Amino acid sequence: MSLASVIPVIESVRAPLDALAAPLGIARQVVDRPGTATAPIAPGWSTTVSGLHASTVLVSLLDARGEALEIGLRSHSPSGWSKWVDIDESPDEGPDRGAEGVTSARVLGPVWTGRATDQVQVVVWRGSGSALRVEALDTSGSPASRASTFAVRSTAGPTTAKLLSTSAWGSPGWSYRTAGCENGPKVAPLQLAIVHHTVTTNDYSPSETPELIRGIYYSHLARGWCDIAYNFLVDRFGRIWQGRSGPANAPVVGGHAAGFNTGSVGIALLGQHQSNASPPAVSPSSAQIDALATVIAWKFTLHGLDPSSSTYYTARAGSTRFAEGTVVHLARVAGHRDTGSTSCPGDYTYAQLGDLRTRASARWRSPKPFGYGSTGDEALWGDWNGDGRADPAVRRGNKYLMRMSASGGPAQLTVTFGRGTDQAIVGDWDRDGTDTIGVYREGTVYLTSENTPRPTATRTFRYGTSGDEAISGDWDGDGGDGIGVRRGNEWLLRMGASGGPAQISFHFGRATDTAFTGDWDGDGRDTAAVLRGGVAYLSATHSSSPPVAEQPLAGELRSILSGDPTGEGFDMVGSVEGTTWTPWQRMASVR
């Protein structure tokens, strides 16, 4: 295969790399070296590239069908030749297979060689192919977007993290032009943190950190990915840098651990921490571990996860260690090697994960319980004021006493509607973003459209029969809640707030379970859930399939509630014990 026939195949799937380099302030030198009949690219083949002005080097195998590659690379500067650095392909790093971008580009690196690099030498240790490409990058230029100040982002609680935003290192953001990236970043309910190391130099100055990150960003897009893979990076000085695009407080899906990206936050330590590997390894600095604990505590406080706990995760496609569909028991704070066949995040980092969890737990703030209502009240959650967050209410007879924030205090609005013997239901019946009260009485549904002291029913219709249990939810993701009933363990749903025959029916749980509903995976659709013996069993579809997640909940629960207390589009499970409300216990993790 000729070199000319290979390059268009690889380049066509990626955004033009010169266009990627320009906004990063990167000067790019590219040299292609094909093998020949007498000197094929195989173990022992080597090449030297001169006339460079670079600080970072990538090597690409320009043959999608070539064998897995392992090479050695050393660089030359006015002070002489460096030691050899061994690099290989890392199939366990990257997006889940088919999730974003493309994966045909085979890139090794980046290797930080230092700002004065004028030559590099490459030798093949393992693998073969038709041609190699050496890309020498000068990352010292000024990117199009740059800031030097810290951005401070905090949760509603006391745990905060001081972050450097993406503009601080000059990120051009998400590469919408790359094939498979057109729809932008995705989000998914957070389930765990995965710790990495970047396998780059440990010898860098504070001013060189942005250059290192820009080189990593470029190398990830050169692979055909949509953005830098890591959600956050932590340098040896203890500074936390946002990596991937999207709101820092949102559960943005990364591309850092193939098969385990959805529902994880990827945090990379800038450095090489694996013993008996190159560049020479060191232990993460105390400042790095401390900052890593801070950002994990901040994210986990925001999303209701305990850093000391564990979870069950169903592997997606892409991991070389776990087949797709395998259920894996993982610590909430895991190392990359726990999810793939890799030494990442290095022995020196992995040995500190226990201490890391302890530090993060000490800073983590569990959801703050609050007192509201009286013993015997019926507890409800709803977005009563249209701010996107679920807030508490209690029902006392036919009066509904509402708060406009997830906190204790006097009722801020009392709504009187229906009879004390009615079943209460809550929903956004008219798609205006505000939940209002409804009641179910012997097969008749009465719905209100506003939260006022004495609203009247604006919709009345028949659905179900006497003895049914009324439920509500946005079953089809259209932004408006529909009605439903549970009859034994059969669920019968209507897509809208109107009467008529059931449009979906299925069996889920047991007749003796406590039923509730919620949007567990952030797709806009509410699905069924039941509580049994202190465990919540969650469904992801409107079908009789087995539960996709089991969520143990603390305490002897008298009431279970679901809602979105953070306003991020994912429902969480909350509870009421007596008059004590816990806004959420853990984010549901749908498998």
pLDDT band at 2 (very low <50, low <70, confident <90, very high): very low
567 pLDDT exceeds 80?
no
CATH 2.70.150.10 fits 151-363, yes or no: no
Contact (Cβ atoms closer than 8 angstroms) between residue 83 and residue 89 = no
The answer on pLDDT for 571 being more than 90 is no
- Give the per-residue pLDDT at 28: 86
Average pLDDT over residues 31-49: 88
* pTM of the predicted model as reported, rounded to 2 decimal places: 0.69
Mean pLDDT of 62-80: 85
pLDDT band at 590 (very low <50, low <70, confident <90, very high): very low
Of 164-168, 244-248, 497-501, 553-557, give the range with the top mean pLDDT. 497-501
- What is the rounded CA–CA span in Å between residue 196 and residue 188? 20
Mean pLDDT of 390-406: 94
Average pLDDT over the chain, rounded to an integer: 86
Per-residue pLDDT at 159 exceeds 90? no
Report the 10 Å Cβ neighbour count for 545: 11
pLDDT at 494 exceeding the cut of 70: yes
Q: Where residue 337 falls among pLDDT bands split at 50, 70, 90?
A: very high
Instruction: CATH 3.40.80.10 in the chain: give the residue spans.
Output: 151-363
- Residue 382 contacts by C-beta under 8 Å, 6 or more apart in sequence? 390, 391, 393, 402, 426, 435, 436, 563
Fold of 370-582: Hemopexin (2.110.10)
In this prediction, residue 406 has a pLDDT band, given cuts at 50, 70 and 90, of confident
Please state the rounded mean pLDDT for residues 307-313: 91
Q: What residues contact 8, with CB distance under 8 A and at least 6 apart?
A: none
Confidence of residue 53 (pLDDT cuts 50, 70, 90): very high
Looking at residue 311, the DSSP 8-state letter turns out to be: E
Distances (CA, A) of 63 to 69, 104, 389: 11, 9, 51
> Between residues 246 and 153, which one has the greater pLDDT?
246
| Residues 6+ away with beta carbon under 8 Å from 37 | none
Residue located via tokens 């993060």: 360
Residues of the chain with pLDDT > 70, as a percent, come to: 87
Cα distance between the two ends of the chain:
44
Q: Is the pLDDT of residue 355 over 90?
A: yes
Give the model's confidence band at 151: pLDDT under 50 very low, under 70 low, under 90 confident, else very high.
very low
pLDDT of residue 20: 67
pLDDT at residue 11 in the model: 31
The dihedral built from the CA positions of residue 52, 58, 64 and 70, taken in this order, carries a sign that is positive
Is residue 39 very low, low, confident or very high in pLDDT (cuts 50, 70, 90)?
A: confident
- Which of 295, 273, 243 lies closest to 348 in space, CA to CA? 273
Topology at the third CATH level for domain 3-138: Jelly Rolls (2.60.120)
- Residue 550's pLDDT is 65
Find the mean pLDDT for residues 70-94: 91
Which band of pLDDT confidence, cut at 50, 70 and 90, is reported for residue 247?
A: confident
Half-sphere exposure of 465 (CA within 13 A, CB side): 2
Query: Above 80 in pLDDT, residue 304?
Result: no
Q: How confident is the model at residue 553 (pLDDT cuts 50, 70, 90)?
A: low
Q: Residue 164 in contact with residue 138, Cβ under 8 Å?
A: no
Report whether pLDDT(78) > 80: yes
| 3-state SS track over 11-70 | HCCCCCHHHHHHHHCCEEEEEEEECCCCCCECCCCEEEECCCCEEEEEEEECCCCCCCCE
Domain span(s) for CATH 2.60.120 in the chain = 3-138
The mean pLDDT value for 459-476 works out to: 96
Choice between 209 and 115, residue whose per-residue pLDDT is larger:
209
CATH 2.110.10 placement within the chain: 370-582
For residue 250, the model assigns a pLDDT of 81
Mean pLDDT for the stretch of residues 410-431:
97
Q: What is the pLDDT of residue 17?
A: 63
User: Which range has the worst mean pLDDT, 2-16, 365-379, 400-414?
Assistant: 2-16
